[in-house]
Amino acid sequence: MTRRSRELKAKGIDVINLSIGEPDFNTPDPVKAAAKEAIDNNITHYPPVAGFRVLQEAIAEKLERDNGLHFSPEQIVVSNGAKQALANIFLSILDPGDEVILTAPYWVSYADIIQLAGGKVNALPTGIEEGFKLRPERLEKAINEKTKAFLFNSPSNPTGMVYSRDEMAALVNVLKKYPDILIISDEIYEHIHFSGTHISMASFPEVKDQTVVVNGVSKCYAMTGWRIGYMAGPLFLAKACSKLQGQYTSGPGTISQMAALKAIQNPPQNSEYIQEMVSAFQKRRDMLVEKLNEIPDVKTYMPEGAFYLFPDISAYFGKTDGKTVIRNATDLSLYLLEKAHVALVTGEAFGDANCVRISYATSSHLLLEAVKRIKKALSELN
């Protein structure tokens, strides 16, 4: 969708791109200043494979400060983005035939990374009616002798849903019975949370020793291009991930690490930048949901975090404008791109064929215009 959007833009067509999961904010000035200072101080040589010790220590302090979690610096591996942290984990733990349980819809790269590592995806579908949340009885039923890991994501991409403490506790009551199953908790949207405070899966003492936290600076600090993520987990896993990373990328860029250090050292409750960004996303969310609810047969809900909405548009399947027949979410996404010049992402990419993902990490006026175009294009389907 992004590629096709660029092709249309190159032809002079005004495309509104709501397909990219990237904040439309710039990296905070103090973080950029820290990067410039690192260059001036010649911090430009090979870094340690697992990241600079000072950054590992800062991440350990952040986990204690923000999440009440105790990890030693040796249990932390800094990588080229949270995506590499996930790849390191799965490449380290999976043998051919091992299964990873995850909830569908899921972030598009989860399934491919697991398969690249030789594992099998055991995706448990959830729907909009149940808030895209996994019930504990379904989790327990899915566990078998091949289950190696459970991948958990809250706040979620693509749905923006957030598990409550009670909902997480119910899953923990199942997982604690299986101490050999590794719990991988992707918390990259930790601070983009519209109600309450973030709860880490690792904060439940019953499963702390079997949980690995994956996080980074891309979303909360608008540092997508700096490529800094990290994992914090059992020491055996940190050692394995470090050994693996040492063979195919080594440590992440030194300048990016120093920028991430500055970001992580600033407590989120003291960050006007984070508060301003989250407030903007919440206002956009409210406006987007309100406007989409005005479109017939688009089924929505109220996401509690991240910056995505994942509406059910299956009522339009089988309809046509006389030229194009909408058979699935992919057809609808392509139709809206060609007809309304609005780029979304098909839900099929996330494991749910009834939905599309809308990113509201863009300005309110563009969102309003995009919904206006979507409403008009959908009205032409019969």
pLDDT beyond 90 at 108: yes
In this prediction, residue 5 carries a pLDDT of: 85
pLDDT tens digits along 213-255: 999 999 999 999 999 999 999 999 999 999 999 999 999 999 9
In this prediction, residue 2 carries a pLDDT of: 77
pLDDT tens digits along 262-304: 999 988 877 899 999 999 999 999 999 999 999 999 999 999 9
Collapse the DSSP code of 49 into the 3-class scheme (helix H, G, I; strand E, B; otherwise coil) and give the result.
Answer: coil
Long-range contacts of 167-173 (CB under 8 A, 24+ apart): 167/133, 168/199, 168/201, 168/204, 169/204, 170/135, 170/136, 171/134, 171/136, 171/139, 172/201, 172/204, 172/206, 172/207, 173/136, 173/206
In this prediction, residue 220 carries a pLDDT of: 93
Q: Are 34 and 261 in contact (CB under 8 A)?
A: yes
The pTM assigned to this predicted structure is 0.96
Q: Cα–chain-centroid distance for residue 138?
A: 23
Give the relative orientation of helices 329-340 and 364-379 as an angle to the nearest 10 degrees.
110
In this prediction, residue 68 carries a pLDDT of: 97
pLDDT beyond 80 at 93: yes
pLDDT tens digits along 11-41: 999 999 999 889 999 999 999 999 999 999 9
Beta strand pairing status for 356-359 and 345-346? antiparallel
Average pLDDT of span 65-94: 98
Domain boundaries, the chain: 2-21+272-377, 30-266
Instruction: Extract the tokens encoding 172.
Output: 């923990």
Average pLDDT of span 195-202: 94
Taking CA atoms, 183 is separated from 148, 186, 210, 296, in Å, by: 9, 10, 6, 40
Beta strand pairing status for 211-216 and 16-17? unpaired
In this prediction, residue 3 carries a pLDDT of: 82
In this prediction, residue 318 carries a pLDDT of: 97
2-21+272-377 and 30-266 have identical folds: no
pLDDT beyond 80 at 326: yes
Q: What is the DSSP string of 139-170?
A: HHHH--TTEEEEEEESS-TTT-----HHHHHH
Average pLDDT of span 65-74: 98
Collapse the DSSP code of 302 into the 3-class scheme (helix H, G, I; strand E, B; otherwise coil) and give the result.
Answer: coil
**Domain 30-266 annotated CATH 3.40.640.10:** yes
What CATH class is the domain 2-21+272-377? alpha beta
In this prediction, residue 270 carries a pLDDT of: 77
Residue 56: phi, psi to the nearest 5?
-60, -40
In this prediction, residue 196 carries a pLDDT of: 85
Q: Cα–chain-centroid distance for residue 67?
A: 18
pLDDT tens digits along 164-198: 999 999 999 999 999 999 999 999 999 999 988 99
